[in-house]
Structure 1
């Protein structure tokens, strides 16, 4: 529907998508389903599809997500009393340790049984990651709102366990990945110019390159520089100045070049 509805103002597309979110949650709730799960699955489907004005929608939704997180944690902070945490610390600690060492690993291994291609190291890593977000705390507020007897104790226990998981598992994710040899080098994405191609152009990519003294010894103009076939220099940034590239432009050390190339080009051929 996002791709078929023609709206003259691109700023209205994020609002349209937001209305679909409320619609998905409401209709699922009316049908006695899980509205949160429905929105989550819908988000996965939309996020992996080609939609019009994708970058504008992503920017707005990212801002809304951060705003919701700020409001959510502010509200959760108002519900928590530190002295009540101490009262349930012993029980919550035992439950938390059980969840971290037995409960979650067991559930993860059982759920991943059909996926034969996932190796043992990956299964162990997934088991260790744990749930460190505010979602379990949000769900723990439901019995509090419904005024269920003992709901405050449940809320405090869930809050304590989440904080425990955050401290123990959340701070050791990178370490666990390194120990299991699952960490990969950080891959740079995007470019320093802040320029992006439209979503429809999926066969091209933008890269940036900084001119070095070693490169200038081999070629000091664009026409003499050996770039991969199908790669063009779009603009040259020299300090705070932007220059229109041409073959005779004399390059300086430190110049930044914005390149456009085919995605299947071998990046190794681009000078470092």
Structure 2
């Protein structure tokens, strides 16, 4: 019992820090600086002031952050879902893969020719900085939500390019410092294997998990979210053992589950959303503890980082990635917003820790550069996102908090009951309920607008953002869905020109 007091004090301090991290979102909204910046910088400063905090084993940090990313990517996949992903699938895959490769190559060339990095380290640096993080964007936007294809594309791109960036770094590390076409061939083979195996395991794992959720009941409601969480870990593990991308696998599995019904699905989604928020705090804090601010002046890391960050924000992303984005159908405002909002987050810093483990003499310098670039991207580029969204007059809606919920429980799955959100431009947007061609086998029974109930009458005019509960027979369900979402089940991909 002698250690009870020190342990209690430590636990209290850790929980107090966690509470401050949660409350930092209020400060983030006021200062227009993404909350992750506070976690990253605060942890870095703390590790310099209290050296014991920076004594974490780098492998332990990598593993903990990997678990956090599994949670974040799985939740991100569920948030997108099959319907939203399918509406821009071609654009998401194209931008996630080609955009990552172009960004990595351009930054590698800049690091080599401008600052004298050898090609191996330059490629590692460029690849580490390639992935984007939409959580940073949405943290800055706060309660404002971007409507239309740009929001889907940003979410999908980050979910796709995180696994792509990680797989690309693994491929480069596998090829090593060897020169010649043999090394290139080895890297391409490893990369292709990671992508294909990850996608296949994710699809199969997502479908298997869905069957498991529907057919195997559990004795307690609280066990259902835990089962899904454990299953996501299994999907990651299987893909990794098979030499695939576990990150891509959990992201795809999350997409598969996103729109599907299952027992306690809303509770599962709330649990994973809260857990993803915690995972983001943990990831940025742990990664911040690995940074030593006192080493940034060494080798001009801060200057190199600033130059690369400016090049990425004003040249690489808008020009080179802009060329990649040309085949995608977007308005000029949406295109500008997507290209500016490719912000960096936890994944580049995580990839930087893998570079540290190579024990290359220049690895620490590369890691410091990664930190500076991420910090610039989060604070400067991220801070301008709300202003840019307003300036471009993008379709946005303010999502007000809705702390009160009213629901019904059913013993069996309610097959004829469907929940929709009226999309902007959908046939139902601006139409009265009686004017909708739903026939006699479907009817609207519940409408919620801006967090308040709307009386359902034939003359009630629906608006974009309205949440509806619709009863519809199976034979007309697909047609009814198209009225409210604008994307009927089975519609072809319209995310890219072709």
- Give the Cα–Cα distance (whole angstroms) in 2 for the partners of residues 171 and 57 of structure 1: 32
Q: Are residue 93 (structure 1) and residue 306 (structure 2) matched?
A: yes
- Give the Cα–Cα distance (whole angstroms) in 1 for the partners of residues 253 and 358 of structure 2: 28
Q: Are residue 136 (structure 1) and residue 333 (structure 2) matched?
A: no
Of 209, 228, 232, which aligns to 1:17? 228
- Give the Cα–Cα distance (whole angstroms) in 2 for the partners of residues 263 and 34 of structure 1: 51
Quote the offset at 1:75 in angstroms: 1.4
Aligned counterpart, 2:418: 202
Query: Where does 1:20-99 land on structure 2 (aligned, <5 Å)?
Result: 20-87=231-298, 88-99=301-312
Quote the offset at 1:189 in angstroms: 7.4
Query: Where does 1:1-16 land on structure 2 (aligned, <5 Å)?
Result: 1=211, 2-16=213-227
The unaligned stretches of length 5 or more in structure 2 are: 1-210, 422-443, 464-498
Quote the offset at 1:31 in angstroms: 2.2
How has the CA–CA distance of structure 1 residues 189 and 266 changed in structure 2, closer, same or farther, with 3 Å as cutoff?
A: farther
- Give the Cα–Cα distance (whole angstroms) in 2 for the partners of residues 35 and 264 of structure 1: 51
Residues 216-242 of structure 1: per-residue CA shift (max 9 Å, x gap): xxxxxxxxxxxxx9669xxxxxxxxxx
- Give the Cα–Cα distance (whole angstroms) in 2 for the partners of residues 146 and 257 of structure 1: 56
User: Contact (CA 8 Å) 1:25, 1:36: kept in 2 or not?
Assistant: yes
Residues 216-271 of structure 1: per-residue CA shift (max 9 Å, x gap): xxxxxxxxxxxxx9669xxxxxxxxxxxxxxxxxxxxxxx9856758995258xxx
Aligned counterpart, 1:109: 322
Aligned counterpart, 2:380: 168
SS at match of 1:3: helix
SS at match of 1:123: helix
- Give the Cα–Cα distance (whole angstroms) in 2 for the partners of residues 141 and 80 of structure 1: 10
How has the CA–CA distance of structure 1 residues 184 and 68 changed in structure 2, closer, same or farther, with 3 Å as cutoff?
A: closer
TM normalised by structure 1 equals: 0.69
SS at match of 1:202: strand
Residues 60-88 of structure 1: per-residue CA shift (max 9 Å, x gap): 21232233223222211221111222331
Quote the offset at 1:44 in angstroms: 2.3
Write 1 or 2 for the structure with the bigger share of helix.
2
How has the CA–CA distance of structure 1 residues 22 and 157 changed in structure 2, closer, same or farther, with 3 Å as cutoff?
A: same
Q: Are residue 266 (structure 1) and residue 461 (structure 2) matched?
A: yes
How has the CA–CA distance of structure 1 residues 161 and 184 changed in structure 2, closer, same or farther, with 3 Å as cutoff?
A: same
- Give the Cα–Cα distance (whole angstroms) in 2 for the partners of residues 94 and 152 of structure 1: 18
How has the CA–CA distance of structure 1 residues 34 and 193 changed in structure 2, closer, same or farther, with 3 Å as cutoff?
A: closer
User: Contact (CA 8 Å) 1:85, 1:156: kept in 2 or not?
Assistant: yes
Residues 174-217 of structure 1: per-residue CA shift (max 9 Å, x gap): 11111112142425575x63324669542589xxxxxxxxxxxx
Name which one, 1 or 2, has greater alpha-carbon Rg. 1
Residues 148-177 of structure 1: per-residue CA shift (max 9 Å, x gap): 442221111111101001111111111111
> What's the RMSD between the two structures over aligned residues?
3.2
The unaligned stretches of length 5 or more in structure 1 are: 206-228, 233-255
How has the CA–CA distance of structure 1 residues 261 and 189 changed in structure 2, closer, same or farther, with 3 Å as cutoff?
A: farther
How has the CA–CA distance of structure 1 residues 157 and 171 changed in structure 2, closer, same or farther, with 3 Å as cutoff?
A: same
Which structure is richer in relative contact order (CA contacts within 8 A, separation 6 or more)?
2
Quote the offset at 1:146 in angstroms: 4.1
User: Contact (CA 8 Å) 1:231, 1:262: kept in 2 or not?
Assistant: no
How has the CA–CA distance of structure 1 residues 120 and 5 changed in structure 2, closer, same or farther, with 3 Å as cutoff?
A: same
Residues 76-132 of structure 1: per-residue CA shift (max 9 Å, x gap): 1221111222331111111111111111223432332332x3122211110101223
Quote the offset at 1:40 in angstroms: 1.7
